[in-house]
Amino acid sequence: MAFPTNRPRRLRRTAALRRLVEQTRLHPADFVLPLFVKEGINEAIDVASMPGVQQHSLDSLRKAAHGAVHAGVGGLILFGIPGHKDAIGTQADSDDGIVQQALRALRADLGDSTVLMADLCLCEYTDHGHCGPLTADGSTVDNDVTLVRYASVALAQVEAGADVVAPSGMMDGQVAVIRDAIETAGYADRAILAYAAKYASAFYGPFRDAAESKPSFGDRRAYQMNPANGDEALLEVFADLDQGADAVMVKPAGPYLDVITRVSDAVDVPVAAYQVSGEYAMLEAAAAQGWIERERAIVESVTAIKRAGAQTVLTYWATELALLLR
């Protein structure tokens, strides 16, 4: 009887051997923690569809941010929920807008010990829940009018202390107008992380609870990408890089590992991926039922995103993962 001479199991025999030859490693600095800050509340509010995630007051936000930085998380990205919404999202670029308040508070607290990012979109700020002002007939988002708003929001965010602005609205030309606006104002040193390949995904549902950003009509398929398209992701990525993006993102992450790999193979800038609310909620729900091993599943899901080619992972488990790895 012929026995095999090539035995891959030799390097799997013990935990030490497996660790020695591991090809994909996680590090706390790889992670960015998304945080929701809501105007007009005095204490954090639990998000029912995302166990463990909260809408923060300014005070509770500062506490969560300190915890993440202490754990070694690489960065924080802020989403704001204003006290007032209107057709053009005026609170998004207001000097006393909730994200601008939060950026100033965190910069004062944390200095340069972490990377402060600001999501740049209008869906949380508009009374209709779409990502920019609507056309005259109210049927869809007006791309070019929205670009003017995005430029103003970007400037407000960098002035408040953002290291990175992250435009997520999927408007054509958004990176170019943001780059021009912040450089003209003297902020040429601030980075743009473009949500370059953001798909019109069914996995965003819990986020819309957390950010209070559900559209009042229709959906976002007229401006976010068709989940069936892979080649189009590269078109969007290269367009954003040509316009001045410093890094690019694929969103969601888990269902789009192939897209992450294609983008990572095609570019020489950092690639981020967002493990979105639906990915988080599904795993938490299954774990709560005892159907999967929670910690192992969290680590495996993020490892897969890194293995696919993402250098940075935006994940709601960032702090927990960082502590677990440490």
Question: Which residues carry out catalysis?
Answer: 198, 251
Q: CA dist 261 to 43, 125, 200, 276, Å?
A: 40, 33, 19, 18
> DSSP H helical segments within the chain, as ranges?
15-20, 58-71, 98-110, 143-160, 174-184, 205-211, 231-242, 257-266, 277-288, 294-308, 318-325
* C-beta of residue 82 within 8 angstroms of C-beta of residue 99: no
Q: CA dist 176 to 150, 192, 195, 266, Å?
A: 11, 10, 13, 21
Distance of alpha carbon 179 from alpha carbon 160, whole angstroms: 17
- Name the residue with tokens 């040509």: 242
141 in helix, strand or coil?
strand
- Name the residue with tokens 């790999």: 261
307 in helix, strand or coil?
helix
- Name the residue with tokens 């430029």: 151
- The number of CA neighbours under 13 Å toward the Cβ of 36 is 27
Residue 79 one-letter amino acid: F
305-201-321 Cα angle (round to 5): 30
Distance of alpha carbon 94 from alpha carbon 160, whole angstroms: 11
What DSSP state is assigned to residue 135? P
Give residue 186's region: left, alpha or beta (phi > 0; psi -120 to 50): left
* C-beta of residue 92 within 8 angstroms of C-beta of residue 151: no
- Name the residue with tokens 């969601």: 252
